[in-house]
Amino acid sequence: MVGQTYEPPVQHLAAFLYDRNQSFWYLIAESSPMISLQDIEQFIPFIKPLFDGLRSARDFFRRDRRPQHAIGIPEKTLILLPDVHTHALRWGLGKAGEKEAMQISGSLQGTNTSRYAVRAAGIKLLEPTRVAVLTQTITVGDPESGMHSTWHLIPAGHTGELSFMFFVTPVVGTPGRPLTATISVLDQFGNEHVMRDLQFKFMGPEKLP
């Protein structure tokens, strides 16, 4: 009607578009008359909380759809110490075919600080570096039988006995004197537990026949 201001009913509003910067672009109306700025402003206090609520609900259900088997991967699982007996860390001479070689071996105590059973999945010789590792192995002792295996696990919160051995060439240590070496023990999560500057006592003959 001429002389009257048109006020579109709420049901004529078709959609509200909300951009990434948390602001409204515009309102699309099904009716042909233009919607005034005052009409838009009166809906803003109601629409923004609605979008915030929908976004919170979306985030909640996304979290709820996480796989049930997912576990938190620990960054460290073991506290390692050399065993207490005199020759816990030792090295000696050997042969690989016709070449002189070194055997570096030791016994460790490993305390599992994680909430998972831990397997000693591997071991590395980090120092000395100018050697070729021919053989390497690490095992965990069974607390009941005392037998060692590469597949035994250390239960959560328990201490296990670990034994390791490297067979390397050439001989870089001085027979009769201690050897300084750095090793790394790996768990099944891929964590490396480094033990630096270990002192290995020499054992055996200083010359090979």
Same domain, 185 and 160: yes
Is residue 119 located within the same domain as residue 198? Answer: yes
Q: pLDDT tens string for the chain (209 positions)? A: 445 544 444 444 334 434 444 444 444 444 445 555 555 556 566 666 666 766 776 766 666 555 555 678 888 999 999 999 889 999 999 998 888 999 999 999 999 999 999 999 999 999 999 999 999 999 999 988 889 999 999 999 999 999 999 999 999 999 999 999 999 999 999 999 999 999 999 999 988 87
Indicate whether 106 and 160 sit together in one domain: yes
> Are 87 and 29 in the same domain?
no
Residues 140, 90, single domain; the answer is yes
185 and 92 within one domain: yes
Considering the domain boundaries, does residue 174 fall inside one? yes
Number of domains in the chain: 2
Considering the domain architecture, whether residues 91 and 15 belong to the same structural domain is answered as: no
Q: CATH number of the domain at 122, please.
A: 2.60.40.1890
* 163 found inside a domain: yes
Q: pTM of the predicted model, to two decimals?
A: 0.65
Q: Give, in order, the Cα–Cα distances in Å from 114 to each of 46, 75, 138, 190, 192.
A: 49, 9, 20, 14, 14
Question: Is 21 found in the same domain as 93?
Answer: no
1 in a structural domain = no
Q: Structural domain of residue 49, as residue ranges?
A: 10-64
Secondary structure of the chain as H, E, C letters = CCCCCCCCCHHHEEEEEECCCCCEEEEEECCCCCCCHHHHHHHHHHHHHHHHHHHHHHHHHHHHCCCCCCCCCCCCCEEEEECCCCCCEEEEEEEECCEEEEEEEEEEEEEECCCCCEEEEEEEEEECCCCEEEEEEEEEECCCCCCEECCCEECCCCEEEEEEEEEEECCCCCCCCCEEEEEEEEECCCCEEEEEEEEEEECCCCCCC
Give a yes or no: residue 73 inside a domain: no
For residue 57, is it within any domain?
Answer: yes
Q: Are residues 109 and 131 in the same domain?
A: yes
Do residue 89 and residue 48 come from a single domain? no
